[in-house]
Amino acid sequence: MNKKEVVSFAKANKVEIVDLKFCDFPGLWQHFSIPAKAFTEDLFEEGIGFDGSSIRGFQKIQESDMLLVLDPRATFLDPFTELPTLNVICNIKDPITGQPYTRDPRFVAQKAEQYLKGTRIADTSYWGPEIEFYIFDHVRFDQTYNEAFYQVDSVEGFWNSGDDTRPNLGYKPRYKEGYFPVPPMDHMQDIRSEMVKILQQVGIEVEVHHHEVGTAGQTEIDMRYQSLTHMADQVLLYKYVVKNVARKRGKTVTVMPKPIFMDNGSGMHVHQSLWKRGKNVFYDPNNYGLISDTARYYIGGLLKHADALCAFIAPTTNSYRRLVPGYEAPINLVYSQRNRSACVRIPMYSASEKAKRLEFRTPDPSCNPYYAFPAMLMAGLDGIENKIEPPEPMDKDLYDLPPEEKKNVRSVVGSLDAALDALEQDHEFLLKGDVFTQDVIDTWIAYKREKEVDAIRLRPHPYEFALYYDV
């Protein structure tokens, strides 16, 4: 829709509130609302002001005035509010220079799409993230000077198999055995179906939903692929929907990569492909995995820059509780067809050109998609431009390699701190075309180190008391 059509749409649907949404620096939606009578076509030209110094990672207080620029192509009716509410996703602009704000994550995604066209390698990239998450019945956590704890619970959690404090009907998925059981073992069928219904209602095309491997309600709902910025918008809308559906049903959703010890974490395997004039440039029926040389070089770029990419695609300290051996964790920096123990898998469900893509399995859903997707695209394009050859494909279980073979397989970094160090040393590929700026990279590194890495490092861990209290 254009601006005139959006304003008419709001009137036709008797909208009373217009909610303006934008993405903060780490990757969460922020918002404020205006009455529908203030929603005019002029607003699309003038923008609307907000305090950028109160948003994480944005402005200093002496330069706090910023503008939201409404995108008429990114709107949806809110399925959760009591009053009829139209949501509009926005970009951010500097009111002094009139230029797009370089720390606006959505602007980074849009620049990446423009850069891709400028390379003439392709004109469109398609993205299909498989987002996993847990649905819990209860969560509590706290950190004080003398106490630290967390607790999550689910009626479906296998740890409740012996619970006698309430009626216990059994049917709890065993650890790492939650993949595809039917109800009543799968307690989450109806809530997932409601999530799918609402996702479709707000314009997201869904392909499949199912229980995932973990006990205690691990879930996956897959969206149909979309272009880069559009899919990044959908990832945040997806999180908004699944969290609010859960809350309405008295449950809670988390996309934390590893909320449960000794069971599978939640990943975001990202399917990606490049297209030019309607042709899939990743497809070649005569090569290994039916992928082209271009696709192989793209994989080479992903694997070469994987450590630096981790700062954006696995961007929390908790991400590295997931990226460990033994939990379908994609830590091995090789590629393979069909093989889920490799970081990059070439799906082989179909031999058709339209289905040919690669799946990068390292990312998780704690990421900011407006940074994660462009970072992966830029790494892949660097691989194509420099014809970077990946290691030879390995069609074997990489989790069970003999030591003499395992030592030759490179793994991803083991901590957020190491990923940030890698990004600090390896980010020239991100600066091409001004897609990422040096300021964005420096601010990301500084923010993550201060607010997350150092914050965790300074606090005693509860398990340290079990290890060391009696020393």
Indicate the pairing of strand 218-223 with strand 206-211.
antiparallel
Catalytic residue, candidates 104, 220, 263, 417: 220
Catalytic residue, candidates 71, 113, 130, 156: 130
**In a structure prediction context, what are the per-residue pLDDT tens digits for the chain, which is 471 residues long?**
899 999 999 999 999 999 999 999 999 999 999 999 999 999 999 999 999 999 999 988 888 899 999 999 999 999 999 999 999 999 999 998 999 999 999 999 999 999 999 999 999 999 999 999 999 999 999 999 999 999 999 999 999 999 999 899 999 999 999 999 999 999 999 999 999 999 999 999 999 999 999 999 999 999 999 999 999 999 999 999 999 999 999 999 999 999 999 999 999 999 999 999 999 999 999 999 999 999 999 999 999 999 999 999 999 999 999 998 766 678 889 999 877 778 999 998 888 899 999 999 999 999 999 999 999 999 999 999 999 999 998 877 776 777 777 778 889 999 999 999 999 999 999 999 999 999 999 999 999 999 999 999 999 999 999 999 999
CATH number of 3-101: 3.10.20.70
Q: Are 35 and 48 in contact (CB under 8 A)?
A: no
Catalytic residue, candidates 305, 361, 382, 427: 361
∠ CA 177-183-186, rounded to 5°: 40
Determine whether 359 is an active site residue.
Answer: yes
Determine whether 428 is an active site residue.
Answer: no
* For the chain, percent of residues with pLDDT exceeding 70: 99
Up-side HSE of residue 4: CA atoms within 13 Å toward CB?
Answer: 0
Catalytic residue, candidates 5, 46, 51, 207: 51
Kindly report the pTM of this predicted structure.
0.96
Q: Are 337 and 348 in contact (CB under 8 A)?
A: yes
The reply to whether 3-101 and 124-468 are identical in fold is no
The reported pLDDT for the residue numbered 467 is 95
Determine whether 132 is an active site residue.
Answer: yes
Determine whether 353 is an active site residue.
Answer: no
Mean pLDDT, the chain, whole residue set: 95
Task: Dump the DSSP string for 92-107.
Answer: EE-TTT-SBPTT-HHH
Determine whether 51 is an active site residue.
Answer: yes
pLDDT in tens, 398-435: 767 777 777 788 899 999 999 999 999 999 999 999 99
User: What's the CA gap between 287 and 301, in Å, rounded?
Assistant: 19
The reported pLDDT for the residue numbered 328 is 67
Fold of 124-468: Creatine Kinase; Chain A, domain 2 (3.30.590)
Q: Which two tokens stand for residue 28?
A: 């969460």
∠ CA 14-226-213, rounded to 5°: 100
**Residue ranges covered by each domain of the chain:** 3-101, 124-468
Q: Are 127 and 225 in contact (CB under 8 A)?
A: yes
Residues with Cβ within 8 Å of 172's Cβ and at least 6 positions away in sequence, in order, are: 155, 156, 157, 158, 160, 161, 185, 215
Determine whether 269 is an active site residue.
Answer: yes
Q: Nearest Cα to 321, choosing from 360, 359, 366, 358?
A: 366
Catalytic residue, candidates 78, 113, 359, 452: 359
> Of all helices (H) and strands (E), which one includes residue 57?
none
Catalytic residue, candidates 104, 212, 222, 382: 212
Decide: residue 450, CB within 10 A, 0-12 exposed, 13-18 middle, 19+ buried: exposed
Return phi, psi of residue 208, to 5°. -165, 155
pLDDT in tens, 425-443: 999 999 999 999 999 999 9
Catalytic residue, candidates 73, 209, 340, 449: 340
Determine whether 130 is an active site residue.
Answer: yes
Q: Are 190 and 237 in contact (CB under 8 A)?
A: no
Up-side HSE of residue 333: CA atoms within 13 Å toward CB?
Answer: 21
Quick one: DSSP state of residue 269? E
Would you give the end-to-end CA distance of the chain in angstroms? Answer: 67
Catalytic residue, candidates 269, 296, 357, 427: 269
Catalytic residue, candidates 71, 113, 132, 222: 132
Decide: residue 79, CB within 10 A, 0-12 exposed, 13-18 middle, 19+ buried: middle
